[in-house]
Structure 1
């Protein structure tokens, strides 16, 4: 099906959101056997067909035609995907459903599952048992036993420093690691992220723990429906509470220290500039997974999601460099390239279409405790294979977007989630 023209496409976006595809027309698939949770050494010949048959094929999938820019020649990632965050169109992909170790990109699913549980101001005193099971060599934000933290502190630790200690404390608050893993797997099923199998909530290497570029993109798209998720994922730096100590006068005092986002496209590095329009989402790196990354960026009114898994080049920050190249290609190709698939909606999304234009009203579908999901697509049933934040550091989220009240009033959907002026003012590299 050829890509719709811009005017037609914009009219279709009335029911589209960061979470949802607007145009799934394929019939609901019959349930298939659950695929193996063991990562393969090479991409299987037959992978999941969620989102379209071509996405289940090994190798690069793209519809090159006159006027469509060629893909970057030097991509080395085992798997990647470029998708329109609003319409859900997959512009190009490479081994999109290959089940690989996800590393800390899995924290996006952890956050999307648990963020609605508590207000940001909820306080928790850390018990020694809360930190049990944190893997050796884990990335840490510096959570201390017997200290009290707000939920907001802990989420900053998760998003900025990829702190496994913060993940374990939040998991303890949620009834323990086992319960949290169970809820994450259930949420992955609801999102139709059927390549994903969670063993450790922090993404720490564990046998049979897998996800895919397609699934991580679905998960990011779901998380970005939540205002708090957008804010945390786009914060460059923040203050984190330190340890309580006695000063020279014997009085107990508690200071703070700065933490910075480990997402190099958001923060920049010596060999990676800040990517123009970047607004999150999450990076990861472990022995088994290599480097993984899912990012979202806006340019000229277009919002794209890119996921890159395990580049094979042994080069500093290669995962960010390949992500930037794919963003560049996507922004040039958007509106010109015929999609090869789409990001599906969640299983429970209503199939009722949106009300006409008058139902649109200003507001923000998101926030602490917001579990907004989107509507307008047919779910695909199965896979077919085996202190305070530095204001300068916030790249997303204060102004409200347009929401649409769908038939029945059950779902609020961001028609477009906004990016603030800070991002739009960033100079092009």
Structure 2
């Protein structure tokens, strides 16, 4: 048997009890008693190894204890503050692509409100589409229930408000844990108006799911909403759930949410629902003394959770407010889009994810931005514009049936902040016959004023209604 430690013997002074000698060779005793020597060497070597191991383990324990003690008392690393991308979308103007605040502060223009904490915000003229000021308006963030404005833009025109619907149990499945509810029950019948009041006043995800079921189901509704976002040039938006519940990849921006509000306000039913402060919502059937249902249905009061519209114990109703929608989830924080009128002007404001340092802060910051907008709007030059829907661009024309033109839609080029118009670029490609004998490419550049959906003075919305009440989705 050979030692595994070395190919040759290790030589130590005779009598060294700690030395290691090849088995069967004893420099003192010789090979006469190999077994006894082996036992002696193994015992002494093991004892020495134990002493060395004990010393090492004690040292490691001391060092380890110091490290662990330091780890236990070390302060946790602070969570890094999210930062907007260095380059964002330029839809609506080149200045909107840059992070930070964009505003044209000239002599006579009041300073912006101090200590704004929201990650993203925008103030715009609802009639002309001019953006008076913005801060990271194209930053893609979780939208929370403000996404329900896009849901309304997509689904509301499809069903008359007097239509009734009996709710099935399956219609209420799939809602996220902790969802806001208005109190819809299966096997009960509701009007479409009831359901929309549940959406706008109580931000009811149950009402959204029922209306989605009427629209063909959740997947179809999500697809319709994404198509509607594309039509509105809301390119920051990606819909995963129709109710705005937190889901990976569900994103929008202050710019897009403002587009959704502006589009919805063209519809009188949208305006009516989003400006309603309180309403009676149908409940279960009343029962007689024997416990049998009667023909009389109960109801209960619901109040709008938009605190600039309904007020709260620590905040008053904002003068001139007329909607639109609020939201609050774990990922999104608080979000809010509002519309208000003063002195013949109608302004839109969107605020996303302010600091969590003060109750109702999202409404306070929105109100301060509206106050600034009404003071600044007569003199401040815009930094961008709210773009129109693709179907409203100058080169397109609705078909006789009220649908969209079959021409490929053109996207608006980024407009400069100082102008009310923009440079629109069209690229059309016509492919010849099946033999592919010729290809003609036409590029047209033209400058035209930006078409805007003008809201009439004296009303929070107004404007033209959608032709045919609905549009085909792509």
C-alpha RMSD over aligned residues: 2.4
Aligned counterparts, 1:11-410, within 5 A: 41-249=82-290, 250-252=292-294, 253-351=296-394, 379-380=411-412
Q: Paired residues, what number?
A: 335
What SS is found at the alignment partner of 2:243? coil
**Cα deviations across residues 252-272 of structure 1 (Å, max 9, x unaligned)?**
232100100000000001111
d(CA) in 1 for partners of 2:328 and 2:168? 28
SS at match of 1:416: coil
| Counterpart contact for 2:129–2:452, Cα < 8 Å | no
Pair 272,44 (structure 1): closer, same or farther in 2 beyond 3 Å = same
Task: From 411, 416, 419, give the equivalent of 2:456.
Answer: 416
Query: What is the distance in 2 between the residues matched to 1:334 and 1:371?
Result: 36
> Any conservation in 1 of the 2:344–2:457 contact (CA below 8 Å)?
no
Q: Flag structure 1 segments of 5+ consecutive residues without an equivalent.
A: 1-39, 354-369, 384-410, 421-429
Normalization by structure 2: what TM-score? 0.68
CA distance in 1, matches of 2:310, 2:339: 14
Deviation at 1:352, TM superposition (A): 6.4
The 1:190/1:337 distance shift into structure 2, 3 A limit, reads: same
How many Å apart are 1:414 and its aligned residue?
4.8
Measure how far apart 1:248 and its partner are: 1.4
Shift of 1:247: 2.2
Q: Is the Cα–Cα contact under 8 Å of residues 346 and 379 in structure 1 kept in the other structure? A: no
In 2, the alpha carbon distance for the partners of 1:330 and 1:161 equals 28
Query: For 1:97 and 1:251, how far apart are their aligned partners in 2?
Result: 53
Distance in 2 separating the partners of 1:151 and 1:417: 29
CA gap of 1:225–1:417, structure 2 versus 1, over 3 A, is farther
Q: Return the index of the structure with the highest Cα Rg.
A: 2
User: Per-residue deviation at 1:417?
Assistant: 5.8
Q: How far is 1:245 from its partner?
A: 4.0
- Match of 1:50, SS? coil
Quick check: 1:103–1:203 contact (8 Å CA) kept in 2? yes
Aligned residue for 1:86, secondary structure, equals coil
CA distance 1:378–1:83, change in 2 (3 Å): farther
- Displacement of 1:243: 1.4
Shift of 1:371: 9.9
Instruction: Flag the structure with more relative contact order, 1 or 2, with Cα contacts below 8 A and sequence separation at least 6.
Output: 1
Offset, 1:41: 3.1
Q: List runs of 5+ in structure 2 lacking aligned partners.
A: 1-80, 397-401, 416-450, 461-474
The TM-score with structure 1 as length reference comes to: 0.75
Q: 2 CA distance for matches of 1:336 and 1:371?
A: 39
Partner Cα separation in structure 1 for residue 142 and residue 244 of structure 2: 8
Counterpart-to-counterpart distance in 2, 1:313 and 1:285: 12
* DSSP 3-state at the match of 2:390: coil
Task: Tell me how far apart the structure 1 counterparts of residues 310 and 272 of structure 2 sit (CA, whole Å).
Answer: 15
